[in-house]
Structure 1
Amino acid sequence: MGARLLVNIDFDDLPRATAFYTQALGLSIGRRFGDGGIELLGAEAPIYLLVKAAGSRACSASGETRRYERHWTPVHLDFVVDDLPSAIDRAMQAGAVIEDAMRTESWGRIAHFADPFGNGFCLLEFLNRGYDEIARAV
């Protein structure tokens, strides 16, 4: 059996994060975990919004602390949508900051964003055969 994927995103303002992700992406609340978290459903994996104070330690090994201004990480979320222009409008109305305008590639269209907490994410719409347009057999 392969691994199951759960997505966890830390925030310092759970009501604001919940409003953003439900409005911007059309996700719905599954379960609530007291004041400490909310499960969002509607993506291929559940997304857990977790309350973690700004400045708190991310983990003991790294010594890094949580910060909620724009930051870069090599891991980010891509949300596949059916209509990218409409999804861009919805995300921006919910408070997303567009960082790169929509561009078209042979596989589809993509736009880069930051959520109100500094987390980067992309919206993409597959065209034609999607990633198969650029994939090679291994």
Structure 2
Amino acid sequence: MKQLINIDVPDLDAAEAFYSEAFGLHGGRRLGSEVLEMLGGTAPLYLLQKASGSIGAGDDARKYGRHWMPLHIDIVVDDLEPALARALEAGALQEGDIREANWGRIVQIADPFGHGWCLLQFLGRGYDEITT
């Protein structure tokens, strides 16, 4: 099974700049004028240009202010502070303090389009530290 990540954004050029600068991804193929493949992660990320107010899932209009959704993506990094600084410089907003557990360190951020992300630095054996 192969995973693809699709993210709705209101401005394809701004999204390409953010994901390149914040997470080190790079543009791949353009699929028409409203889809851009971003590469460099463990799964391709597809930016889909969708206008604010257009209909998304069900009858919900797309909103690009900060919103909650029951899904987010963790970006695993080697060193949390420089990764966070890079994301903030690119336009992310930090949401809370860096938290630490025996498995690693984590901080929540939001991209400029309202989507939640976490930056995650594993410590020791990572999640194996808490496996039962």
TM-score range, shorter chain: over 0.9
Q: Where does residue 36 of structure 2 map in the other structure?
A: 38
| 1:64-113 per-position Cα deviation (integer Å, ceiling 9, x unaligned) | 11100000011011000011000000000000000011111110000000
Counterpart CA distance in 2 for 1:7 and 1:78 is: 12
Number of residue pairs the alignment of both structures matches: 132
Indicate the residue corresponding to 2:53 in structure 1.
55
Cα-Cα RMSD? 0.8
Q: Does 1:92 align with 2:93?
A: no
State how far apart, in whole Å, the 2-side matches of 1:33 and 1:23 are.
Answer: 21
Which deviations, in whole Å up to 9, do the C-alpha atoms of 1:16-46 show, x marking residues without a partner? 0110000000011111123201101111100
Matches within 5 A, 1:83-122: 83-122=79-118
Residue 108 of structure 2 aligns to a residue whose secondary structure is strand
Which residue of 18, 21, 24 maps to 1:20? 18
Distance 1:102 1:89 in 2: 12
Moved segments of 4+, more than 4 Å: none
Distance 1:14 1:30 in 2: 13
Residue 126 of structure 1 aligns to which amino acid in structure 2? F
Deviates more, 1:29-38 or 1:112-121: 29-38
2: distance between equivalents of 1:100 and 1:5?
29
Q: % of aligned pairs identical?
A: 54
Corresponding residue of 1:124? 120
Q: Describe the SS at the equivalent of 2:97.
A: strand
TM-score of the aligned structures, taking structure 2 as reference length:
0.97
Which letter does structure 2 place at the counterpart of 1:56? S
